[in-house]
């Protein structure tokens, strides 16, 4: 059972903030159009500011709680014959990828990853990455099947080489 790099929290936070940005944009557009309608009312703009600040504070708090929980509920195990990824706070999923089925391993370093010194690892199989299932009340937060959001750089490299070597050996061949 291995935990993610602490920087993974930033990825989870960013997931949360992304959803809020659209919301804030809608408030700004709505607020400005109402303000113009009222003859450029400063009062309306002030209220808009308060609402945005409120939304931002809520987003920050929720993002903080969510990212910590998501981080502590995410773990992975690399064993002789499979990779097991455990994730999810309420809807918990345990994905098992037989090493023999690994098609490709990708290591990605985005902006956050470079800032906080981690790598994102994608483990691909031949199965589609669809995962569009939704619960009762709308879509639930979905992670890609074989994604490890944040792993220490060196470890990520090691995982990549190890998995590719093992999957080749497991498949037999030349």
Partner 1 sequence: MQQLHPSARWVFRTSVYQWLIPMLAIIAIVAFVALVIVVFPSEGQTEVSQEDAALSRTMMILAGFAALATIIGGLLSSEVYARMAYERYLYDLTKEGLIIERGIVWKKHVTIPYDRIQNVDIERGILARLLNFSSVSIHTAGYSGGGPEGYLPALDVATADQMRGALLRRIQRR
Q: Quick check: 1 binds partner 1 (CB under 8 A)?
A: no
Shortest Cβ 6–partner 1 spacing (Å): 26
Q: Angle at Cα 60 formed by Cα 117 and Cα 141, nearest 5°?
A: 75
* Partners of 152 in beta bridges: 118
Residues 110-129 that bind partner 1 (CB under 8 A): 125-128
**How many residues bind partner 1, per CB under 8 A?**
25
Q: Quick check: 173 binds partner 1 (CB under 8 A)?
A: no
Cα radius of gyration (the chain)? 21
Closest to 71 in 3D by CA, of 151, 144, 8: 8
Q: Is 10 exposed, middle or buried (0-12, 13-18, 19+ CB in 10 A)?
A: buried
| Selected binder of partner 1 within 97, 148, 150, 163 (CB under 8 A) | 97
Residues 130-159 that bind partner 1 (CB under 8 A): 130, 132-133, 135-136, 145-146
| Selected binder of partner 1 within 14, 60, 62, 170 (CB under 8 A) | 170
Closest to 150 in 3D by CA, of 8, 3, 2: 8
Q: Which stretches of the chain bind partner 1, using CB under 8 A?
A: 81-82, 90-98, 100-101, 125-128, 130, 132-133, 135-136, 145-146, 170
């Amino acid at each position: 059972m291995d935990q993610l790099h602490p920087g993974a929290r930033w990825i989870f936070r960013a997931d949360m903030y992304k959803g809020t940005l659209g919301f804030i944009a809608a408030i700004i557009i709505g607020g400005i159009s109402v303000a113009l309608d009222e003859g450029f009312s400063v009062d309306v703009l002030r209220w808009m500011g308060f609402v945005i600040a409120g939304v931002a504070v809520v987003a920050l708090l929720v993002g903080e709680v969510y990212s910590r929980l998501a981080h502590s509920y995410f773990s992975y195990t690399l064993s002789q014959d499979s990779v097991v990824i455990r994730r999810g706070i309420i809807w918990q999923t345990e994905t098992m990828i037989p090493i023999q089925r690994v098609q490709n391993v990708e290591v990605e370093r985005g902006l956050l990853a470079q800032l906080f010194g981690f790598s994102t690892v994608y483990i691909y199989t031949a199965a589609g990455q669809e995962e569009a299932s939704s619960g009762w009340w709308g879509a639930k937060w979905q992670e890609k099947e074989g994604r490890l959001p944040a792993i220490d750089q060196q470890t990520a490299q090691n995982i990549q080489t190890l998995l590719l070597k093992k999957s080749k050996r497991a498949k037999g061949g030349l």
